[in-house]
Amino acid sequence: MKPSGYNLDATFAALADPTRRAILARLADGEATVTELAEPFDMSQPAISKHLKVLERAGLITRGRQAQRRPRKLEPRPLAEATDWIERYRKIWEGNYKRLDAVLEELKTKQKKAVDALLEDVKPKPKKRNTK
């Protein structure tokens, strides 16, 4: 299957901003108007509108039909493509790091053995020997 045509670059660029991520998090709970979206932020409505435009261009949100309110709605698909890529990446690294865990455990065991052997060398002779 070919990619659906969403521009992943635009998606990631849109997601790179904390305000826009917060807006998406809010929209994950349900649609909201620009005024409602601006409320929790210390930002003017035009500033919020700018962020919404970036999200819209990335295909991450759409506008509702209600003439006056025009509520914004989350579009899950492009975000899912981005997260899917991250998920693949994560799986590969998870595999690598599980093996790294094992390598480190082995190193720790080896180090402990070496230290124990050293301690054994410098340890005073067991008492038994002296009780003759």
Partner 1 sequence: MTKSAPLKVTTPSDREVVVTRVLNAPRAMVFDAHTKPELVQQWLLGPPGWTMPVCEIDLRVGGKYRYVWKHADGRSMGMGGTFTEIVRPARIVATQLFDEDWTGGETIVTTEIAEKSGKSTLTTTVQYVSRAARDAALKTGMTTGMEAGFERLEELLQA
Closest CB 5 distance from partner 1, rounded Å? 10
Closest CB 93 distance from partner 1, rounded Å? 5
d(C-alpha 117, C-alpha 123), whole Å = 10
Cβ closest to partner 1, residue 101 vs residue 116: 101
Helix, strand, coil abundance in the chain, percent, nearest 5: 65, 5, 30
Closest CB 42 distance from partner 1, rounded Å? 20
DSSP 8-state secondary structure symbol assigned to residue 80 = H
Cβ closest to partner 1, residue 38 vs residue 82: 82
Side-chain-facing half-sphere of 8: CA atoms under 13 Å: 9
Asked if 44 and 35 count as a contact pair (C-beta separation under 8 A), the reply is no
Give residues in contact with partner 1 (CB under 8 A). 1-4, 7-9, 12-13, 15-16, 21, 24-25, 28, 76-77, 79-90, 92-105, 107-108, 111
Cβ closest to partner 1, residue 43 vs residue 80: 80
Cβ closest to partner 1, residue 13 vs residue 43: 13
Closest CB 72 distance from partner 1, rounded Å? 16
Amino acid code (one letter) for 31: E
Asked if 20 and 55 count as a contact pair (C-beta separation under 8 A), the reply is yes
